């Protein structure tokens, strides 16, 4: 039995991740003076919290609160400090943190600009690094992301996140339990660990995306539908967004490696070289899956075209069979007064028999030609 093919053009699916055009607040930055602090993300109601870890090899203190001064009082210049700002929608709070630690206004501007491409910049006393943190929502089949920025200073690492929930729970546990080398190293090492954790998450996201592509490929081969094309379009746009977000990361990591900043130790730069290699692998994987997805989309279009051709072939054969039958019926359907055949006793059975023989002959002919 022939499967029904719906050839209607499907609507472009809505994607789950935020598009650049959806950030209306980005227009507010047009014409503003450099360093003007404007949050360009979605409006949020939850309170901004600050999480502070102050530690060395022997001691660790931590606090999380919405009261800025209370948390920042835990800061100790003689120890390594991790200051994690959770929420960017409170611009006044970000400004207070910047003033307290003398962070450059251009740095803070990039922190609040959530559509900022990945970049690394050396401000002398600080190294600024911004990146996109992705995770795949398996239940809803969505690709979610978050803008996150890191600032490395002397014995201090700042982390600015859009919302609560991150990938750094393992780092927190290592700090609390003094496991590994993290409590014995300076701030540049935990700075590296944050970036490495985000980059490692890309592998998981890409693997999950690869599984979706494989399922779509099997579906295209077995029974492609309009829903399949919608899913292909959605995955294609996710791949484009991933590539646009990750591709500049190579340049950013390379900037840190080539930096001669005193904030980075030589052995930590070797760790960043490893992150650079991972980034290259991820970008190459994205290129491979993009080409694979393009091939699957071409396969879908070819399959749809072949099925349409099969349908048109069947309809054409049926029409061709009925052409001579219609011709015979048309002749004897004319209202002439003198048609000798109409007076014959066996005229009707003969006419029907001729039509049946013609139809059988044409079916045999089409079968031998392998058109059926």
Rg of the chain over Cα atoms, rounded to whole angstroms, equals 34
My answer on whether 204 and 337 are in the same domain is no
Residue 8 clears pLDDT 50, i.e. is over it: no
**Position of tokens 């003007």?**
36
Assigned domain for 231 exists = yes
Query: Which residues constitute the domain of residue 339?
Result: 332-368
Mean pLDDT of 118-128: 91
Higher pLDDT, residue 251 or 327: 251
My answer on whether 267 and 146 are in the same domain is yes
What does the block give as tokens for 90? 């409170």
Assigned domain for 311 exists = no
- 169-211 pLDDT, tens digit each: 899 999 999 888 899 999 999 999 999 999 999 999 999 888 8
My answer on whether 198 and 283 are in the same domain is yes
For 364, the 3-state DSSP assignment is helix
Assigned domain for 232 exists = yes
Assigned domain for 3 exists = no
Assigned domain for 46 exists = yes
My answer on whether 190 and 290 are in the same domain is yes
Mean pLDDT of 322-344: 78
Point out the least confidently predicted range of 79-83, 232-236, 288-292, 335-339.
335-339
pTM for the model: 0.77
Residue 45 clears pLDDT 80, i.e. is over it: no
Three-state SS for 51-107 is EEEEECCCCEEEEEECCHHHHHCCCCCCCEEEEEEECCCCHHHHHHHHHHHCCCHHH
Assigned domain for 16 exists = no
Residue 18 clears pLDDT 60, i.e. is over it: no
pLDDT at 42 (0 to 100): 81
For 282, the 3-state DSSP assignment is helix
C-alpha closest to that of 24 among 36, 39, 38, 40? 40
Q: How many domains does the chain have?
A: 2
Rounded CA gap, 133 and 145, in Å? 5
72 falls in which pLDDT band (50, 70, 90)?
Answer: confident
């Amino acid at each position: 039995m022939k499967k029904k093919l719906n050839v209607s053009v499907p609507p472009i699916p809505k994607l789950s991740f935020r598009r650049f055009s959806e950030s209306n607040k980005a227009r507010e930055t047009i014409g503003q003076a450099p360093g003007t602090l404007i949050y360009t993300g979605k409006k949020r109601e939850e309170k901004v919290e600050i999480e502070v870890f102050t530690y060395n090899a022997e001691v660790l203190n931590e606090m999380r609160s919405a009261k800025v001064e209370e948390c920042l009082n835990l800061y100790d210049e003689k120890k390594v400090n991790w200051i994690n700002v959770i929420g960017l929608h409170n611009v006044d709070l970000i400004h207070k943190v910047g003033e307290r630690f003398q962070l450059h206004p251009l740095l803070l501007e990039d922190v609040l600009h959530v559509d900022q491409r990945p970049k690394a910049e050396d401000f002398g006393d600080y190294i600024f690094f911004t990146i996109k943190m992705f995770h795949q929502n398996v239940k809803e089949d969505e690709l979610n992301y978050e803008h996150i920025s890191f600032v490395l200073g002397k014995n201090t690492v700042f982390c600015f996140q859009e919302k609560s929930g991150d990938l750094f729970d393992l780092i927190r546990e290592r700090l609390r339990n003094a496991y590994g080398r993290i409590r014995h190293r300076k701030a540049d090492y935990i700075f590296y660990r944050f970036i490495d954790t985000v980059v490692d998450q890309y592998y998981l996201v890409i693997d999950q995306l690869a599984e979706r592509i494989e399922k779509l490929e099997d579906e295209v081969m077995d029974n492609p539908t309009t829903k399949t094309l919608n899913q292909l379009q959605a995955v294609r746009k996710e791949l484009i967004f991933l590539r646009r977000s990750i591709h500049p990361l190579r340049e950013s990591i390379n900037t840190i490696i080539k930096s001669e900043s005193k904030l980075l130790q030589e052995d930590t730069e070797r760790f960043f070289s490893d992150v650079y290699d991972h980034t290259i692998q991820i970008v190459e994987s994205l290129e491979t899956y993009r080409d694979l997805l393009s091939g699957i989309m071409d396969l879908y279009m070819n399959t749809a075209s072949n099925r349409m051709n099969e349908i048109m072939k069947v309809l054409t054969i049926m029409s061709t069979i009925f052409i001579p039958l219609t011709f015979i019926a048309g002749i004897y359907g004319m209202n002439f007064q003198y048609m000798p055949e109409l007076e014959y006793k066996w005229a009707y059975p003969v006419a029907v028999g001729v039509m049946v023989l013609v139809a059988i002959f044409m079916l045999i002919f089409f079968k031998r030609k392998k058109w059926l």
